[in-house]
């Protein structure tokens, strides 16, 4: 099973909508980079059982992203913030530039 790191990103957005077991297994696999064998030992399940659970959880993440698009939205928001930052750097120092920097900072802190 080849790791697709898009699921690590999707896990960040949708982890609270998964079951505790799905979240735990995906976290082990993607965030802690454990092998299927290591996870099966920790979880007290077969390697095949872990693989099946991961596939179902990945399908659930794909379904949520296809309906909610949080990952796409977060990426777009980050891209816009970077573009605004580049534009801001070209402005002369004044109150407007400081206000724009504050807005960009606020955008960067959004929990997406």
CA–centroid distance for 11 within its chain: 5
| Beta strand segments in 18-75, E | none
Q: How many domains does the chain have?
A: 2
Same domain, residue pair 64 and 102? no
Q: Is there a domain that residue 22 lies in?
A: yes
The pTM assigned to this predicted structure is: 0.76
Same domain, residue pair 43 and 95? no
Same domain, residue pair 17 and 64? yes
Q: Walk along the chain (112 residues) and give the pLDDT tens digit of each residue.
A: 567 889 999 999 999 999 999 999 999 999 999 999 999 999 999 999 999 999 999 999 999 999 999 998 888 888 888 898 888 888 888 888 888 888 888 888 877 6
Coil, strand or helix: which one is 21? Answer: helix
CATH of the domain at 39: 1.10.10.10
Q: Is there a domain that residue 1 lies in?
A: no
CA torsion through residues 84, 89, 95, 96, sign? negative
Same domain, residue pair 55 and 84? no
Rounded to an integer, what distance in angstroms lies between the CA atom of residue 50 and that of residue 37? 9
């Amino acid at each position: 099973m080849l790791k697709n790191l898009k699921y690590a990103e999707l896990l960040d957005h949708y982890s609270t909508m998964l079951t505790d077991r799905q979240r735990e297994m995906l976290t082990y696999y993607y965030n802690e980079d454990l092998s299927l064998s290591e996870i099966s030992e920790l979880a007290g399940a077969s390697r095949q059982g872990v693989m099946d659970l991961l596939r179902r959880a990945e399908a659930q993440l794909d379904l949520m992203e296809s309906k909610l698009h949080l990952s796409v939205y977060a990426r777009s928001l980050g891209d816009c913030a970077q573009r605004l930052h580049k534009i801001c750097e070209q402005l002369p120092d004044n109150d407007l530039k400081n206000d724009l920097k504050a807005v960009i900072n606020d955008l960067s802190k959004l929990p997406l």
